[in-house]
């Protein structure tokens, strides 16, 4: 409780275990994120939740969650804040598990892990769901399952998102085929920040599009069965590019590293794009001095909100770009 949210987010190790680079296929699969959307029976959804009722939902849940999670030493943070009504976020000590209260749904349970590890993560999340479900009456329907604010989440309330780094597929323009294939398999491919974001820095989130009419196991299988294919595909193309366009590839990677090391002003989009090239370089063994974990961290910490947290104040666009470039230079200089 002593640590303020700002310290917590901004401390360099705060990125948490999910940043680790020991997950399966971590050179291509950056993270796996799974969430469950739940609502509490007897309360209106967010769209019709007035301040008083929102407070009631928050205290109803906080009371149970705190008890449930603190007792098990699972949750160490309560970042309750009054932003757009009473909301709260609970994090596990290892920071990979979070419970958000009064987001789009009353409850969003989320788990984040490094690399391709959805089975274990899902088990963890379902366990948490069962424990919360034993204390809280969820809004369910005999036909539709778990009821959610948005009908795109109804049924299981489950979204499995796997963040992939596919620079070679983007480079070779084969990424279009990935989109086609994913669409046919009812999987959504989204950009770096998820829903409604454009593709930046060759990072893509692959997730299940439907949540209703399939079991949790089936939804998991739908996502997991395509991952090894995508990973192999990207690896193949990486090998090809490395063999046939060695100089071009090396130039791109070193150029990106050089700009990150020395630039004085940088937008978040440019940072992601350059870090993407550098990440590829690290994975191909071209930048041996640079730990992959650092690159993963920088991808997160160079985002606007994090840059401001690191600076300790709100910044306008230009000062943010200056602060970002400073931070990246400093962190990369540490590695020599």
Partner 1 sequence: MTEFCQRCQTEAAKVHVTEIDKDGGKVLLHLCEGCAKGHGLPASTPPTVLAVFKELVDKASTVSRTRDRQCPECGITFAEFKAKGRFGCAHDYDAFLARVVPLLERVHGASEHLGPGDAVAAAAVPDPSATASGAAPAAPAPVLPPPARKSAADQAAQELKRLRRELVRVVKSEAYEEAARLRDRIQALEKDLAKGFEVDG
Report the interface residues with partner 1, using CB under 8 A.
Answer: 36, 39, 41, 43-48, 104, 118-119, 122-123, 126-127, 129-130, 133, 139-152, 154-157, 185-186, 210-218, 220-221, 224-226, 228-229
Alpha-carbon span 135 to 81, nearest angstrom:
23
Under 8 Å between Cβ of 39 and 168: no
Cβ-based nearer residue to partner 1, 20 or 181: 181
DSSP 68-103: IIIHTT-EEEE--EESSSEEEEEEETTSSEEEEESS
With CA atoms as reference, report the closest residue to 271 among 238, 297, 310.
297
Shortest Cβ distance from residue 86 to partner 1 (Å)? 18
Tokens 């961290």 — which residue? 297
Closer Cβ to partner 1, 92 or 277, answer by number: 92
Return the number of the residue (124 or 172) whose C-beta is nearest partner 1: 124
Closest CA to 320 of 287, 271, 282, 281: 271
Joined together, the tokens standing for residue 304 give: 């606007």
Residue 63 near residue 329, CB atoms below 8 Å = no
- For the CB of residue 133, give the shortest distance to partner 1 in the complex, in Å: 7
Closest separation in Å from C-beta 190 to partner 1 = 16
Nearer to partner 1, 23 or 118 (CB): 118
Please choose, from the candidates 141, 316, 131, 299, the residue with its C-alpha nearest in 3D space to the C-alpha of residue 212: 141
Residue 49 or 241: the one with the smaller Cβ distance to partner 1 is: 49
3-state secondary structure of 157: coil
Question: Of 77 and 214, which has the nearer Cβ to partner 1?
Answer: 214
Closest to partner 1 by CB, 145 vs 304, is 145
Residue in 311, 274, 326 with CA at minimum distance from that of residue 295: 274
Please, which residue, 114 or 281, has the CB nearer to partner 1? Answer: 114
Parallel/antiparallel/unpaired status of strands 29-38 and 107-114: antiparallel
CB of 31 to partner 1, least distance (A): 17
Least distance between partner 1 and beta carbon 222 (Å): 9
Q: Are 94 and 8 in contact (CB under 8 A)?
A: no
CA dist 122 and 138 (Å) reads 19
Residue 270 token pair: 């440019």
Q: What is the dihedral of CA 95, 161, 10, 332, to 10 degrees?
A: 120
């Amino acid at each position: 409780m002593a640590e303020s949210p700002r310290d917590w987010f901004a401390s360099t190790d705060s990125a948490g275990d999910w940043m680790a680079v020991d997950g399966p296929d971590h050179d291509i699969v950056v993270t796996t994120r799974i969430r469950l959307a739940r609502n509490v029976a007897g309360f209106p959804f967010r769209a019709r939740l007035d301040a008083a009722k929102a407070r009631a939902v928050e205290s109803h849940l906080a009371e149970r969650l705190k008890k449930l999670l603190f007792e098990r030493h699972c949750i160490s943070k309560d970042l309750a804040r009054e932003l757009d009504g009473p909301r709260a976020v609970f994090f596990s000590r290892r920071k990979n598990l979070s419970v958000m209260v009064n987001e789009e749904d009353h409850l969003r349970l989320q788990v984040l892990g490094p690399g391709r590890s959805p089975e274990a993560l899902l088990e963890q999340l379902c366990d948490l769901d069962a424990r919360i479900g034993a204390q809280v009456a969820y809004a369910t329907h005999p036909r539709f399952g778990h009821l959610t604010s948005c009908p795109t989440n109804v049924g299981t309330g489950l979204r499995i998102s796997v963040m992939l780094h596919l620079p070679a597929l983007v480079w070779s323009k084969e990424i279009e085929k990935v989109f086609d294939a994913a669409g046919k398999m009812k999987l959504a491919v989204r950009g770096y920040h998820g829903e409604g974001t454009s593709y930046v820095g060759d990072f893509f989130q692959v997730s299940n599009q439907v949540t209703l009419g399939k079991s949790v196991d089936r939804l998991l299988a739908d996502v997991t069965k395509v991952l090894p294919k995508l990973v192999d595909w990207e690896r193949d193309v990486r090998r090809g590019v490395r063999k046939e366009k060695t100089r071009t590839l090396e130039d791109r990677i070193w150029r990106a590293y050089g700009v990150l090391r020395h630039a004085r002003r940088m937008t978040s989009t440019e940072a992601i794009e350059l870090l993407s090239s550098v990440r590829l370089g690290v994975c191909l063994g071209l930048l041996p001095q640079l730990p992959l974990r650092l690159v993963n961290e920088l991808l997160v910490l160079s985002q606007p909100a994090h840059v401001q947290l690191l600076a300790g104040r709100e910044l306008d666009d230009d000062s943010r770009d200056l602060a970002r470039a400073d931070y990246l230079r400093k962190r990369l200089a540490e590695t020599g």
